[in-house]
Amino acid sequence: MKLIIDVGNTFIKLAIFNNGTLLFKQVITENTFFSAVAQIKETYEDTNVAIISSVGKLQPNSITFLNQNFKLHELSVSSILPFKNLYATPYTLGVDRLALVLASIKHFSNKNVLIIDAGTCITFDFINNQNEYLGGAISPGLKMRYQALHNFTAKLPLLKPEKPKHIIGNSTTQSIHSGIVHGVLSELQGVVNKYKINYKDLKVVLTGGDCEFLCENLETKVTVLPDFLLEGLNYFLDLKLTN
């Protein structure tokens, strides 16, 4: 059994995989990291290997704790990867995006794949049918847009994401929901449409914390895989353990 750790901008995801099967998943904050990992170690006592990818902050004592309890591997921009990375500035590329491309290699090798990760940020990552990663785009996520409207204005309230009742908001609250949610949906659809001009056989994967919130109202057909990043990390760890 393997412990998979994804340290994001907002939360930390912990998962246990066995032979490619996801057995357990938990979303935590850093202040519960030690107790959560200790509980996993107690419950899944055969787990002695782990992998971590981090775009957020994890304290050095947390890494020390992991090294004391597991054979720890790390996904980084210098890792040897099973695809060609054509990103112009590879050392600025988030390892979360690398993990998503790894999952694409596992599930959709030699296909044109656009991966949309709807989390704190919305990232677009494209890998072609030659297994070449070309890059993509980054834009603000749903919650970040709600926070921005509140933080950069004097009177607009801070709201939680909610599906708008109508395209025409008949109150300030409904106007915010309409503007943000329809704006994000139109952005996703617009980006997909532009990719499809050049890649008619495009496979679109939607993942991330907000994927299920968004998928029902997208016009284009997408494959929704909420645990795509975790699967990419598990795949990379399998490669490390077999080489």
Q: Does residue 120 have a known ligand-binding role?
A: yes
pTM for the whole structure = 0.93
67 and 132 both lie in a single domain: no
Each residue's pLDDT tens digit, 122-157: 999 999 999 999 999 999 999 999 999 999 999 999
Give the pLDDT score at 242. 85
Final residue before a domain boundary, out of 55, 74, 93: 74
Q: Does residue 12 have a known ligand-binding role?
A: yes
Q: Which residues are catalytic?
A: 96
Each residue's pLDDT tens digit, 179-234: 999 999 999 999 999 999 999 899 999 999 999 999 988 888 899 999 999 999 99
60 and 91 both lie in a single domain: no
Residues 6 or more apart whose Cβ sits within 8 Å of residue 78: none
Q: Does residue 95 have a known ligand-binding role?
A: yes
Q: Does residue 106 have a known ligand-binding role?
A: no
Final residue before a domain boundary, out of 52, 74, 96: 74
59 and 167 both lie in a single domain: no
138 and 161 both lie in a single domain: yes
Give the pLDDT score at 10. 83
Give the pLDDT score at 87. 97
Would residue 243 count as lying in a domain? no
Give the pLDDT score at 117. 97
Give the pLDDT score at 205. 98
Q: Would you tell me how many other CB atoms lie within 10 Å of the CB of residue 233?
A: 29
66 and 95 both lie in a single domain: no
Give the whole-angstrom CA distance, residue 135 versus residue 210.
Answer: 21
Q: Does residue 96 have a known ligand-binding role?
A: yes
CA quadruple 190, 182, 225, 140: dihedral positive or negative? Answer: positive
Give the whole-angstrom CA distance, residue 136 versus residue 127.
Answer: 9
Q: How much is the average pLDDT of 14-34?
A: 93
111 and 157 both lie in a single domain: yes
69 and 149 both lie in a single domain: no
Would residue 240 count as lying in a domain? no
What confidence category does residue 30 fall into, taking pLDDT thresholds of 50, 70 and 90?
Answer: confident
Would residue 215 count as lying in a domain? yes
* CATH code of the domain covering residue 98: 3.30.420.40
Give the whole-angstrom CA distance, residue 109 versus residue 103.
Answer: 9
100 and 120 both lie in a single domain: yes
Number of domains in the chain: 2
Q: Which domain holds residue 185?
A: 84-232
Each residue's pLDDT tens digit, 166-181: 999 999 999 999 999 9
Would residue 241 count as lying in a domain? no
Final residue before a domain boundary, out of 74, 102, 121: 74
Q: Does residue 21 have a known ligand-binding role?
A: no
State the alpha helices, DSSP H only, in the chain. Answer: 33-43, 60-69, 95-108, 142-151, 172-177, 183-198, 211-215, 228-242
Give the pLDDT score at 59. 82
